[in-house]
Structure 1
């Protein structure tokens, strides 16, 4: 994958909820979906929208929903979001969208019929010139709107619809659920393969107990969503912060040698000195080095940390992907 240069990407706009739609985004071609992960299958939908947008001379816009519908329909069931909203917006930008429209998914939106969704949102509000959806996309109350329904509605209302079929890669069906399962079982490389890019998180650095400083490994600590299902362990990572990129090694887990506390992402940046408290980091996961485990004493832990650092440097030296995805320029 070619390293991403955010300076080469035009401004990415985000329209949320009932905000006015900029005039130049009226009449866009929209890729519609939840897009959790913005994986290879999702990007095939975006590519179909982009191809039609180029033919029509229109912008390509991702039309997506927040919060994730499962948070509305099953609020007590934890959901491992591959891409919480800031991450999803960054990935949609990287996928080539000119903008994103983020509709608020609540009981009111869930209750409107598929016909009203087409008439009131796609046609009356956005006046879309075309749409692209995945083969399994459904919308409207009781999931009454199917891809075929949307195509028929488009034929009547004057916009084209592209329906993208299922995608397989390296012998596996590409889906958000499959990627969640792979990340949760420690198969990071396989998950990244289905994503089509190294999985990443965005978060602000919080103050920890500063134990790493006493061990010679000061870390930037990030509290991930409690529902994050990433397998605990040690990872080779790349970190974007303040317009610069650093290689590093990270532990995600409960620190069993010390306190077995709440899961925390602890990132040690190579060849960096400075204060990162409060800074926003994009941490990209390139290789899983080992599982997290408890050590007999601090000396044994530090010896292993030295080995982990060497292993991470080696893994990243042979990793040409080199990409963390950009933070959204707006929104």
Structure 2
């Protein structure tokens, strides 16, 4: 069943009302989030499954000076939620005006009246409303009074502690996308439109698709074995560099440059989803373009070996 995205909470179609919805930011849509969604589905299998989430992330509104930190932007988050079986995603625009809404009004005006929810679920640390004044116990009480069911779902944890977006961000920043993938339930991906670059990759014999990191978290700078999902749904293997290209003294902001193996075609303007599988080496400066070209060739061979081994082990 195809998932539906609703971005105006004040104008929800009749067929999208009456859902059971999980509440949260769902940045990354990791295994802890999946546990929340699955528990809700098992609790209310009689109702359409939904998620109520927000964009931008509240931290982006309240702390705009912070470096980008998002694991998933709206398109990637929606795709991950749809893969979990979510039928309706209510994506509420979070801005200063919405942040001033009292917790009571959020439950009554948004969840009950506007969305027409019949059951609500959240994690034990969920907080909402102006100055995060709404607690889980308050939400449970008001849901009961308004005729909505309520479920508080315990956090999913392992020996290292609760699964969390913060923990996954740390793994990516330390250069462990393979370990992050185990907590996400899939490889971490950067989705974005291919932009024109300076064509240096083509001159080196390794043409690259250039994608700005934008609001995405910047993982450890270096070279990665990746797979790339094309707009037509095909997936290709490749090797990618994330960083500032010190050998050519680029000096600009970090970017993602990916070389798709055995691919010919114009990708400019198209949206790609680049999944990081393994970090091959850290970013470094080389003594000239010839040394860089030789290293890129070695990186491509290493990436093929890693990806083929991973494929064989499935």
The aligned counterpart of 1:143 is 132
User: Are 1:247 and 2:228 an aligned pair?
Assistant: no
Please provide the CA RMSD for this pair.
Answer: 1.8
Once residues 123 and 311 of structure 2 are traced to their aligned partners in structure 1, the CA distance between those partners, rounded to angstroms, is: 30
Q: Is the 8 A contact 1:169 1:194 kept in 2?
A: no
- Select between 203-212 and 105-114 the one with higher mean Cα deviation: 105-114
Taking structure 1 as the reference length, what is the TM-score of the superposition? 0.90
Aligned mate of 2:141, from 152, 171, 175: 152
- The aligned residue for residue 95 of structure 1 is 84
Alignment partners' CA distance in 2, 1:83 and 1:155 = 33
Q: Which secondary structure state, in structure 2, belongs to the residue aligned with residue 14 of structure 1? A: strand
The reply on whether 1:201 has 2:201 as its aligned counterpart is: no
Q: Secondary structure at the match of 2:310?
A: coil
C-alpha distance in 2 between matches for 1:172 and 1:222: 34
1:328 is matched with none
1:272 aligns with 263
Shift of 1:18: 3.9
Say whether the 8 Å CA contact 1:28–1:53 is kept in structure 2.
Answer: no
Distance 1:128 1:96 in 2: 17
**In the alignment, which of 27, 31, 50 is matched to residue 18 of structure 2?**
27
Assess if the C-alpha contact under 8 Å between 2:19 and 2:48 holds in 1. yes
**Equivalent-residue separation in structure 1 for 2:142 and 2:258 (angstroms):** 50
Residue 29 of structure 1 contacts residue 52 of structure 1 at CA under 8 Å; is this kept in 2?
no
Q: Which runs of 5+ in 1 are unaligned?
A: 1-9, 324-331
Instruction: Give 2:102's match in structure 1, choosing from 113, 138, 142.
Output: 113
Q: How many residues align?
A: 312
Indicate conservation of the 8 Å contact 2:9/2:110, yes or no: no
Residues in 1 aligned to 2:226 and 2:255: alpha-carbon distance in whole angstroms:
15
What TM-score, normalized to structure 2? 0.94
SS at match of 2:303: helix
Contact map agreement 1:28 1:59 (CA 8 A) in 2: yes
Correspondence 1:310 to 2:301 = yes
CA distance in structure 2 between the aligned counterparts of 1:173 and 1:120, rounded to whole angstroms: 32
2: CA distance, partners of 1:94 / 1:321: 24
1:291 positional shift: 0.5
C-alpha deviation, 1:20, in angstroms? 2.1
Alignment partner of 1:258 out of 236, 248, 256: 248
Structure 1 position 22, deviation (Å)? 2.1
**1:5 equivalent in structure 2:** none
Give the structure 1 partner of residue 61 of structure 2.
72
Match of 2:282 in 1: 291
**Is the CA contact (8 Å cut-off) linking 1:240 and 1:283 kept in structure 2?**
yes
